[in-house]
Structures are given as C-alpha cells and as structure tokens.
Amino acid sequence: MKAKTLFDKIWGQHIVKENDDGSVLLYIDRHLVHEVTSPQAFEGLRLAGRKPWRVNASVATPDHNVPTTERDKGITDPVSRTQVETLDSNCEEFGITEFGLDDIRQGVVHVMGPEQGLILPGMTVVCGDSHTSTHGAFGSIAMGIGTSEVEHVLATQCLIQKKPKVMRINVNGARPNGITGKDIALFIIGKVGTAGGTGYALEFAGEAIRSLSMEGRMTLCNMAIEAGARCGMIAVDDVTIDYVNGRPYAPSGEIWEQAEAAWRQLHSDDHANFDKELNFQAKDIVPQVSWGTSPEMELPITESVPDPLDARDEVQREGWSRALQYMGLQAGTPLQDINIDKVFIGSCTNGRIEDFREAAAMVKGKHVAKNVKLALAVPGSGLVKQQAETEGLDTIFREAGFEWREPGCSMCLAMNADRLEPRERCASTSNRNFEGRQGMGGRTHLVSPAMAAAAAIAGHFVDIRDWH
Amino acid sequence: MQAFTKLNGLVAPMDRANVDTDAIIPKQFLKSIKRTGYGPFLFDEWRYEDHGEPGMDCTNRPKRADFVLNKQRYQGAEILLARENFGCGSSREHAPWAILDFGFSCVIAPSFADIFFNNCFKNGILPIVLDDLVMDQLFKACVKHEGYRLDVDLEQQTVTTPGGESFHFEVDTFRKHCLLNGLDDIALTLTQTDVICSYENERRKSASWLF
C-alpha cells in the first residue's frame, strides 16, 4: 500500500464525491459556531427555507463580543448585544447546542471545543474563524471558513474543496527550557513568512513538537494560519489520546476502544511523500518577540529592531519602514529596551490552563511595573477560569497587580471594551500584530505567556531564560 | 450571487504587501448582522482621520488626503491592483462584502491569502493572480495614466490593457462556472443529497464516534 501522509489519510476518509475538475465534496464532522460570522449564514438558511443537515454536528458559543467584566450586567454595547442575542435566537430556532453567556462552558470557541471533547482525532473541523487551525493539534483537518461556507456546511454538512499541497515542518532535537509552542510558532513564521504556507496543509513533526503538551500543540497549530496555511496538524500519540479521554463529548466504553484503535493510525507513514519539507533545530530557538505589524516581523529577544536597509527587496523595505513608523520604533533598539504600557494574557492562542500556570509562575510574589497601566489575564473559558481559581492562580495574578477577567476573545481583537489606545504598546499572547488589531493606533508585540508576564513585571521585554 | 462575466473598469492601485482583513474592514464593523453596508468603512483606519464606528454617517468624516482611494482620480474604481498575500489574516467575509459594497468587483494581485480568495468567489468578486512583473507593469501604467482602465473577461480568462496587451489568468473550472452564472453552490451541493446520505451511512458504521 502506498505510504500516506497524515493529511492524506484524513482527507481520503472524508471524500463524499470527487468532481471532474479535481475538487471534492468533503464531509465535515464538526462545526463550531460563534456570533460574528454566523448571523448572515443563518439568515441565508431562513431565506432559502433550509434546515441544518445534521444539527448535532454544530456547537456554538459567543466569544468575540462578550464583556470580560461584570457579566451579571449583561452586554452594555447595544450592537454587540444584538449580535450575541442573534446567536442565541438562531441556535434556539435551528436546534443547535449553545454554551451561552451564563454557562460555565462558554469561552473562546477554540478553547471550548477541545475542552469539551468536541474535537476528536481524525475529524474534519471547520468554523467561521481563521484560528480554527488550532484543532489540527488533535490530528484532525481543521480549517477556517467564511460565512458563505458556514451556511454551506450548515445546509449540506459538506464543503467543496481542492486538496492543498502538504508540507512537513520538522523541529528536531530537544526543546530548550523556556521555549514554548508560541516561540516555535513565531520562529517558524519568521522563517517562512506570512505567505510561506499559502496553498499548503502543514504537518508539524519532530522531537521538539512531540514534547509539547496538547496546550502547546494547540498554540502552534493555532498560528499555522499566520503562516498563510490552510491548516496545521500534528500526529496522534499518547499525549493526544490522554487529553481526549474522559472529556464530556468524547466516546467511552467499547466505542472508545474502537476509536482509539483508529486514532493510533493517524500519523504520516514512513516514506510518505510531502510536497515540501523543512527542517529546523530546536536548539536554535530562543524566546521570540514580534517587532512589527505582521507576525513574520519577529525576532529572538536577544536581537535588536531591524534596519529597513537590510530588507531583501523594495516591497519588504517599504513594509518594514511603515511598520517601524507605526510601531514608534527606531532601527537598532535592543528588543529588551522596549518599554510596554499594557499586557494581555489570553486568547485562542494562549488562553488555556497551562498558559496561566506559566504566566503565574513568572509573576508570583512580584508586582507589575509602574509604567504598566493595565495587565489583563483573561481565561479562555469558564472552565479554564474555574481550574485556575482552584489552583489559586487568580490570587497570584491579582496580588501581582493583574486584573483577572471573565472568559472571551477580549483584547486579542478588541471587539469588546478591552483595547489599546493610540500609541499604547502591549505585550500580548495573542496571534496578530496587524495595525489597529488591538485598538486603533495600538502597538502589539506577540510573545509567549511567560514572556508577557515577565514583561509586565519588568516594564519592558526581558529574556526569561536569565531573568529572575 | 451577482454574476461576473466581463468588466471594463477604472483601476486603483493599493501598493503595499500583506494587506490584512483587519485593515480591509476593522473589527468594530463585524458586529453587524447584515451582508451589506460595509462600503463606507472599507479600509476605515487608512481612509479616515477619526475613529469609525458602525452606523456612522461617513459623508463628513475627515479623510486622509494621501490615502489612495480618497484621491479624486480613483473615484468610481471597480478594479483594485494589490500586492502579495492580499487579504491575509482573519476569515471574515465582511472583507469581500466591504470591497464589493465599495464598488470593486475584481482584485488583481500576485498572490492572495487562501480564505479571502475563496470568499471572493462566493460573493461575485473575481480575484485574479498575475505574476510580479506584470503587476509591476500594471501598477506603473495605472499611476502614470489618469483614468487608466482594464478589460477583464472571465470567459476568455484575460486581462487586457488599453494598449491591447492581453494577459491570461488561471481560474478553477467550477468557480468560473459559478461566477459566470451567479450560481448558489449550496443548491448545487444539495443535488448530491443521496451521495451525502450514503457516505454518512457508511461512516456511521465504520466510525460511529463521529455521530
């Protein structure tokens, strides 16, 4: 039998029909829904008189718009409130399970899904959100889609797709201390660029990847989209199986045993053929910080802000110059000399329990620096919040001068009240440093939770490997 | 969906790489539950001096004079020239909705981000990939000649300059068919109901944990 990649195995299992032009009708096992990209899709169903094809395939939760303070007062912004209420009424009308604002399971859709066992190895997973790539961490094909495709999946449980090429990225050797999934993600994006993965499904492999927890793997796959990839994925192993076992929506008993046997096959075969393969050494990775307005504009914490004169071509030089101007940075400034105004720990990238444990370990017994106006710790879900509180992490954050908030997307994209003011500089565990992403004129530096937490205490970026 | 067949349109140049969907339509406008009305807020932070909010009347908002789409000569443009990786970032379909609502129905770039590219086809916008050298040539001509227009013919898969120079572009057969005819692909997929049901029945037996 021909050796297959992980991607090819799952893709092959989901082909409903092959079309003449090379595209396929691909079956979708799981569809996650949130309030921002679904209202027009539900409206489309209504106008066409259609019903969801398989109602239990979709699960919804509000996340982008929700307030992270004073939940009991509801949503004060009327436009946001309408959108969340529209999700509630659409889910009720069409019979879709929703974890609403008053449910402890509510949270960032990409934190909630895995936590509930809604994401299983070998699945095809979609959501009207680019960071759906997160779920590839389970050895699944997980893709972000637009609203028209949300409607298409609701109506047909399928998508018309062209098979992407497959690229394996190996990170070889042991993962050095202090190097997280986030650092690996930023490192890779810095190397391949934000369009380096365009047209590809990425498989992350190698010793350093296998040593990551599920949280770390989700962080890495989450950012596959920032490399332009259609999806990112990691082979199933004991870490995957152990994480899924016992979750509310995971199978149990005899069916679990059948499922596990099938999941154990979800890895690329020896000698499988990849369209492209890249190799990196884990020992070359140090804690990363982004300096510009694209996730590829990132450097090791030991470096300085680059000079546009060193750019590879005119288009990049123009991009770097514009980024330095927007970020208010001078070429040649050591990254460790950059002072920050705000700190954000959370998001679908880094809003899981391990992220808060790592951040809490940095701030325990210390206090945020005087120049830091606001330090936010925003759990990715109600259950992450509850777990953190059980472990006393909320107290550690509060005593260090952090605000401990309710779950949601928060300042990752600032659709709610949590945002940067013009020219404010933020150490953020989120995924995008685009202009205006965290608020108009706001300046975002992407880092790991430990790096963000240490920056909060120091008031500027530090190398956590030699920081006390 | 509105069909796209041929277009002879005024061209505007967006000469920067990696234009992301946060720039195309900032997040505050994603709170709408409609598909229309995003045009006045296209590139909001680059286009206006002040902070935009949904529902604002944009007619008297202070505009940034140096922003390309604010220039008089590009008013009424229907074709946007862009650089590499246009539409990167979020999957928000509000980005193509805003582009369409503003008046563009064709974007030409050396490369696009996957999700954005796909979203365009679902909304009657034709995204065209031409190579870097051709793009450089079109950018130069567009900036040099006020009122520069291009002819786009989807059936023939060509972009033709006023001087008669023609460039061929690739497009998927199925996407082309849908765009030329303004077809709703959900209706097309639903003609496959039997095949989907039989696939599901098989999977229920071989992988019951998925249902």
- The 10s digit of each residue's pLDDT in B136-185 is 999 999 999 999 999 999 999 999 999 999 999 999 999 999 999 999 88
Contacts of B189 in chain A (CB under 8 A): 25, 152, 155-156, 158, 160
Contacts of B173 in chain A (CB under 8 A): 20-21
Structure confidence at residue A315 as a pLDDT band (50, 70, 90) = confident
Q: Count Cβ atoms within 10 A of the Cβ of residue A312 and give its class: 0-12 exposed, 13-18 middle, 19 or more buried.
A: exposed
Provide the pLDDT for residue B1.
Answer: 83
Over the range A371-395, which residues count as b (16 or more CB within 10 Å of their CB) and which as e? ebebbbbbbbbbbbbebbeeeebbe
Closest chain B residue to A164, measured at CA: B114
Structure confidence at residue A389 as a pLDDT band (50, 70, 90) = very high
Closest chain B residue to A195, measured at CA: B85
Structure confidence at residue A20 as a pLDDT band (50, 70, 90) = confident
Interface of A with B in 70-109 (CB under 8 A): 77, 79-80, 82-83, 86
* Residue A420 near chain B (CB below 8 Å): no
CA–CA dist A202, A136 (Å, integer): 9
CA–CA dist A330, A375 (Å, integer): 25
How is A351-402 classified by DSSP, letter by letter? -SHHHHHHHHHHHTT----TT--EEEE--SBHHHHHHHHHTTHHHHHHHTT-
pLDDT tens string A316-348: 999 999 999 999 999 999 999 999 999 999 999
* Domains detected in chain B: 6-184 (3.20.19.10)
Contacts of B88 in chain A (CB under 8 A): 194-195, 228
State the nearest Cα–Cα gap between B118 and chain A, in angstroms.
8
Q: What is the mean pLDDT of chain A?
A: 96
Considering only residues A248 and A414, tell me which one the structure prediction assigns the higher pLDDT. A248
Contact B93 A146 (CB under 8 A): yes
Provide the pLDDT for residue A180.
Answer: 98
Contact A39 B55 (CB under 8 A): no
CA–CA dist B42, B54 (Å, integer): 12
Provide the pLDDT for residue B58.
Answer: 95
Contact A435 B22 (CB under 8 A): yes
CA–CA dist A389, A160 (Å, integer): 44
Is residue A119 within 8 A of residue A110, CB to CB? The reply is: no
CA–CA dist A308, A372 (Å, integer): 29
* Residue B151 near chain A (CB below 8 Å): no
Provide the pLDDT for residue A137.
Answer: 98
State the nearest Cα–Cα gap between A425 and chain B, in angstroms.
18
CA–CA dist A94, A87 (Å, integer): 11
Contact A36 B22 (CB under 8 A): no
Structure confidence at residue A247 as a pLDDT band (50, 70, 90) = very high
Identify the CA nearest to A296 among candidates A160, A446, A186: A186
What type of residue sits at position A135?
H
**Where do we find the tokens 């940075």?**
A329
Q: Is the pLDDT confidence value at A415 over 90?
A: no
Contact A195 B88 (CB under 8 A): yes
Provide the pLDDT for residue A70.
Answer: 86
ipTM: 0.93
* Residue A414 near chain B (CB below 8 Å): yes
- Report the pLDDT averaged over residues B37-61: 95
Identify the CA nearest to A347 among candidates A107, A66, A48: A107
Q: Is the pLDDT confidence value at A468 over 80?
A: no
Contact A79 B54 (CB under 8 A): yes
Contact A27 B196 (CB under 8 A): yes
Cβ-nearest to A25 among B89, B91, B192 = B192
pLDDT tens string A215-226: 999 999 999 999
Is residue B182 within 8 A of residue B124, CB to CB? The reply is: yes
Q: Is the pLDDT confidence value at B16 over 80?
A: yes
Partner residues linked to B20 by β-bridges: B88
Provide the pLDDT for residue B24.
Answer: 97
Q: Is the pLDDT confidence value at A277 over 80?
A: yes
* Residue B89 near chain A (CB below 8 Å): yes
Contacts of A437 in chain B (CB under 8 A): 22, 27
Provide the pLDDT for residue B154.
Answer: 98
What pTM was estimated for this model as a whole? 0.96
Contacts of B20 in chain A (CB under 8 A): 294, 432, 434
Show the CA angle centred on residue A113, arms to residues A112 and A114, nearest 5°: 100
Provide the pLDDT for residue A1.
Answer: 74
Contact B209 A415 (CB under 8 A): no
Structure confidence at residue A86 as a pLDDT band (50, 70, 90) = very high
State the nearest Cα–Cα gap between B210 and chain A, in angstroms.
7
